[in-house]
Amino acid sequence: MYIKPPKFVRRIFPSLVWEMPPSEEVYLTFDDGPTPGVTEMILEQLAKYGAKATFFVGGCWADDNGELLLKILEDGHELGSHGYFHRDHAKLNESQNREEMTATDNLIRRLTGYDVKLFAPPSGSYSATTLKVAESMGYKTIMWSKDTIDWRDKDIKTIINRATKDVCGGDMILMHPKKHTLEALPRILDYYEKGGLTAVTVSECIKNGAG
């Protein structure tokens, strides 16, 4: 579940992106992975609809999948950090937070040459220390406005409903590279397309002044 932080937190940590301005765009994020055999097919579906997404990859998943990371970038999507071992960042001290982020940052750069600018804390769990470390590394910390909870719930209709119910421009939709999410994705993208919504990367929104 996503809970918007108090206003004072947003003032202290302007790099915490939790709300997007009204627009005709939605922002798809895929956390965890990449998942061989699934991520490639997700890329195919996104291409069919001209949709772009942000893939927050975990270092432990990405380490053996450099070619897949490159494919994500070649298809016009972007990469973000999801930490290395999917740890609870709210429980980590400054050194541990930095180690998780730095290890993933270095890995992605080594495999792709790409400079990561976005961080999504696993399970949306973060502390003031997490945000300070992320900000010191030049990261925006990314949350979500709609959570499909597809890591737990495998019912395709449920995933579609969570990704589309009351959706509006500016929404950030959190998904994961799962087989059942892949099955739901064409209907989700079709719904957005018919509703006049375009899926773009998180950075596109930030570039246009969100945060």
Distance CA(93)–CA(47), nearest Å, equals: 40
Distance CA(138)–CA(127), nearest Å, equals: 17
Residue in 32, 77, 176, 180 annotated catalytic: 176
Q: Which residue has the tokens 């429980």?
A: 91
Residues 6+ apart with CB under 8 A from 119: 56, 80, 81, 82, 83, 101, 134, 137, 139, 140, 141, 142
Residue in 31, 105, 150, 171 annotated catalytic: 31
Please indicate whether residue 176 is annotated as part of the active site: yes
Residues 6+ apart with CB under 8 A from 12: 128
Q: Give me the active site residues, please.
A: 31, 176
